[in-house]
């Protein structure tokens, strides 16, 4: 499963996620204060994340219908794109249901956000 530029996504589920299809995802951590994002970010929180997510969807448009694709875009100041929030909510429900602990979804979300923030600190 390659994009047209030969790169691969960050992850892929080994078992079907929904409707018999595997889920693949690609994560982007962006700074909403960058010149290319600041105008949209000044108008609405999370605008940079939404723009980055739509760009990811364009890059992965050619992966085919056998996969479900989830762009995950997180801003360094906190917000993430809407579809990523929905994905984490769904994942949290599934984890909590399997474990019997209602807090598991929150733990998973916090772990992801901390990892994304750490990745951004290392890159910059």
CB-CB neighbours of 84 under 10 Å:
22
Distance CA 21, CA 14 (A): 10
Asked whether residue 40 carries a pLDDT value surpassing 80, the answer given is yes
In a domain, 46, yes or no: yes
Does residue 4 lie within any of the structural domains? Answer: no
Q: Is residue 94 part of a domain?
A: yes
By residue count, the chain amounts to 124
The chain-wide mean pLDDT, for the chain, equals: 83
User: Domain total for the chain?
Assistant: 1
Predicted TM-score of the model (pTM)? 0.79
- 3-33 residue pLDDT tens: 667 777 888 888 888 899 999 999 888 899 9
Q: What is the pLDDT of residues 80-93, one digit of tens each?
A: 999 999 988 888 88
pLDDT over 80 at 1, yes or no: no
Quote the CA–CA distance of 106 and 93 in Å, as a whole number: 10
Range of the domain at 106: 11-123
The pLDDT tens digits of the residues spanning 48-65 come to 999 999 999 998 888 878
In this structure, is residue 88 part of a structural domain? Answer: yes
Residue 95 in domain: yes
Q: How many CB atoms lie within 10 A of CB 63?
A: 17
């Amino acid at each position: 499963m390659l994009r047209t530029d030969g790169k691969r996504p960050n992850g892929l589920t080994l078992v079907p996620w929904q409707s018999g299809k595997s889920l693949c995802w690609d994560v982007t951590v962006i700074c909403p204060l960058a010149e290319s994002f600041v105008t949209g970010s000044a108008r609405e929180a999370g605008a940079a994340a939404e723009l980055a997510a739509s760009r990811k969807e364009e890059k992965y448009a050619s992966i085919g219908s056998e996969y479900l694709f989830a762009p995950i875009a997180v801003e360094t100041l906190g917000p993430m794109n809407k579809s990523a929030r929905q994905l984490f909510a769904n994942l949290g429900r599934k984890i909590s249901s399997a474990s019997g602990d209602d807090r598991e979804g929150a733990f998973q979300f916090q772990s992801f956000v901390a990892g994304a923030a750490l990745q951004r600190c290392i890159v910059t």
